[in-house]
Structure 1
């Protein structure tokens, strides 16, 4: 029988989606599941974005430019400038989600065997993108006791080798919800300048910053124009996960011309999704103000509720809509499966994402879960009640 590739065998499963078969089985039993495992907002997509597709009179659904519609890149450039991020239209490539932007980036700056340093826990698919690109992830551990703040720069220094090509961060963080301060971003800027590295920032949660905090983009840091690469997406900002539209941005012309070859190889990003994304840029500011207010309220309810459950430790997020919770269990994945297979409260249960998959270091985060507070508050309250009862009963 023909054999599967080593790369295919090494490709990790998604900790976010690997328990879906257990959830499907629970649903077939008639059980209601509060899905806290995936960052799928229940906030409505802006009406303008949906109307732009619904009311469109296109007769031939054609390719776009490989870099995306010029009209979209022009409007997107203006959006960034409104956020004090000076990115020109020709410094942008529209991609099929932030995922493709990360793949283009790794393909453009790394060869097989090169290394990328990432503070962990990190977005689980970074492991998958690295495996696809033949890149080695070198983790630097952040701590729940410190709210998952940036590890000391000295810890990064220890890990830099001749194979190191970049530092990758997610800001605000998925799965931690941590928002890097200006001082932390400046520290990272200094180290990439010192060692002539790239800094790649996944900034898809830019709008989701709480308690008066401000997001500080790597694209706003002077002196690292040739080092900085930004990843972005419409998925979370406009509650448009299914559109699969993102972008990569850099002032480094060599990086962008290289990434364009990858963009040309896949032809173009999807047309209708670009139309919706371009229209979404006309969304008024009060939409975001209402969303931030709603997520802040959900965060507070969730964190306060988790803190009242005996044995649970949680880091309060400063952005995005996730938190990492440490549970009084040895194996969070076993607990998550048990929730779906064997536990119910009034014929309801919850689904969480085991956090070990958000680490690269083996046997780390085994008693942690990622929780996405993307449900209405009344549903979060029910989910907390179920989680509290489940932890009291679980014998694993």
Structure 2
């Protein structure tokens, strides 16, 4: 029998989806599951996107340009320039979801064996993308005690070697919800300029910043024009995860032309996704105001509810729609699986993502879970009851988190 590749063996399983078989069985057993494990919002997609799909009138479902249609990139440029990014359509490469934007950026910027520093916990698929690109993730620890703030620049300095090529951040952060400040971004700018590094900025949750806090992109900082690579998607902004349309943005012309070669190799992004994405730029501001108000309320319900549970600690995030909570448990993977296999409260249980999968450091996150507040408040309150009752019954509960 032929053997699969070492790269295939090394490819990590998704911590967000790996418990799905247990959830499927729990549903077959009659349990109702509150899915807090994945960032799939229940917010309605803007009507302008849906109408654009309904009104498609092309006769041939054709390829588009590898970099995306001219009309969509022009519309996107107008969106970003309202945010003071000061870009043109030729700085935008449309991709099949944010995932492809990240993969192309890694492949275009780093050679096999070179290193990218990423504050952890981080979006779990970064590990998978790095594995596919044959590059090395160098994690730098952030801590729940201070809400997962950016690690000290001195700690970044300790990790930089001759193989270091880039730093990546997700802002606001998935999985922690932490929103990086202007001061933190400016510190990263100086570090990248000092060591001539790329700065990847995953901005999938840009619109979700709470309590009047400011969102700052590296695109807002002078002097980084040749270093910044913005990675974005329509998935979260418009609650359109299935559209699979994202983009890579850079003012570095050599990097753009290199990224374009990877885009040409996969031919083109989806035509219908770009049609919907182009229409989405016309989404009224009232949509985002309502969504922000809704997520703020959900965040408050979840965070306050978690912190009322004995032994649980959850920092209050400034953005995105996730929290990482520390629980009084022996092992997050075992607990999350146990909640699906062995536990129910009034026929209900909760699916969570073990935080271990969001760390690259071995044994980190053993007592933490990521929860997505993508369900209505009524469901969040019911899920909180399940979590509290589950912790009381869990045989691997510890005295302190």
Q: TM (normalized to structure 1)?
A: 0.99
2:240 paired with 1:246:
no
Residue in structure 2 matched with residue 38 of structure 1 by the alignment:
38
Residue in structure 1 matched with residue 285 of structure 2 by the alignment:
285
Alignment of 1:187-336 (within 5 A): 187-336=187-336
Shift of 1:281: 0.6
Residue in structure 2 matched with residue 165 of structure 1 by the alignment:
165
**Using the alignment, how far apart are the partners of 1:138 and 1:279 within structure 2?**
39
**Using the alignment, how far apart are the partners of 2:315 and 2:175 within structure 1?**
11
Listed as ranges, the gaps of 5+ residues in structure 2 are 397-401
Residue in structure 1 matched with residue 19 of structure 2 by the alignment:
19
Residue in structure 2 matched with residue 107 of structure 1 by the alignment:
107
Residue in structure 2 matched with residue 367 of structure 1 by the alignment:
367
Residue in structure 1 matched with residue 79 of structure 2 by the alignment:
79
Shift of 1:230: 0.3
**Using the alignment, how far apart are the partners of 1:222 and 1:126 within structure 2?**
27
- What is the DSSP-based 3-state SS (H/G/I as helix, E as strand, rest coil) of the residue aligned with 1:314? coil
Residue in structure 2 matched with residue 143 of structure 1 by the alignment:
143
Shift of 1:146: 0.7
Q: Alignment length, in residue pairs?
A: 396
Shift of 1:85: 1.1
**Using the alignment, how far apart are the partners of 2:212 and 2:267 within structure 1?**
42
- What is the DSSP-based 3-state SS (H/G/I as helix, E as strand, rest coil) of the residue aligned with 1:108? helix
Residue in structure 2 matched with residue 118 of structure 1 by the alignment:
118
- What is the DSSP-based 3-state SS (H/G/I as helix, E as strand, rest coil) of the residue aligned with 1:329? coil
Hey, which bits of structure 1, 4+ residues long, moved more than 2 A?
A: none
Listed as ranges, the gaps of 5+ residues in structure 1 are none
The CA deviation string for residues 100-145 of structure 1, in whole angstroms up to 9 with x for no partner, is: 0001000001111000000000000000000000010001100000
Residue in structure 2 matched with residue 383 of structure 1 by the alignment:
383
Q: TM (normalized to structure 2)?
A: 0.98
**Using the alignment, how far apart are the partners of 2:177 and 2:266 within structure 1?**
32
**Using the alignment, how far apart are the partners of 1:55 and 1:91 within structure 2?**
29
2:341 paired with 1:341:
yes
- What is the DSSP-based 3-state SS (H/G/I as helix, E as strand, rest coil) of the residue aligned with 1:169? strand
Shift of 1:305: 0.2
Residue in structure 1 matched with residue 5 of structure 2 by the alignment:
5
The CA deviation string for residues 239-269 of structure 1, in whole angstroms up to 9 with x for no partner, is: 0000000000000001100000000000000
Shift of 1:346: 1.1
- What is the DSSP-based 3-state SS (H/G/I as helix, E as strand, rest coil) of the residue aligned with 2:329? coil
**Using the alignment, how far apart are the partners of 1:93 and 1:21 within structure 2?**
36
